[in-house]
Structure 1
């Protein structure tokens, strides 16, 4: 899975589970940051959230689940 694929997956799930628009969730989510697997062997990606406390909490809850299934991503 690529970083872009992961972003789209996260946004689609947020819309389905929490409502709102893709633009809103994209703004809150930001870009997926891909790190080197040599130093981040268990999960090589992260995000920098920028939203309300409720929006960030919704994303953090989703990220816990998604990281279990998609812990390693590649650059686009």
Structure 2
């Protein structure tokens, strides 16, 4: 899975679970940042959520679940 694929998956799940539009969630989610595997061997990606407190909380809950399934992603 690539960072772009992961971003689309996160946005789709946020829409399905919390409602709203893809543009709103894309702004709140931000970009998926891919880290170096040498220093981040267990999970090589991260995001810096913004938006409202409720949006950030929803994103953080989702990230906990998704990291278990997709801990390693490729650039792109």
Q: Shorter-chain-normalised TM-score: which range?
A: over 0.9
Give 4+ residue runs of structure 1 displaced > 6 Å after superposition: none
Give 5+ residue unaligned stretches, structure 2. Answer: none
TM-score of the superposition, structure 1-length normalised?
Answer: 0.99
RMSD of Structure 2 on Structure 1 (CA):
0.3
Matched, 1:14 2:11: no
Q: How many residues align?
A: 76
CA shift for structure 1 position 50 = 1.1
2:37 match: 37
CA shift for structure 1 position 38 = 0.6
1:52 match: 52
Distance in structure 1 (CA, Å) of the matches to 2:17 and 2:11 = 10
Give 5+ residue unaligned stretches, structure 1. Answer: none
TM-score of the superposition, structure 2-length normalised?
Answer: 0.99
CA shift for structure 1 position 48 = 0.7
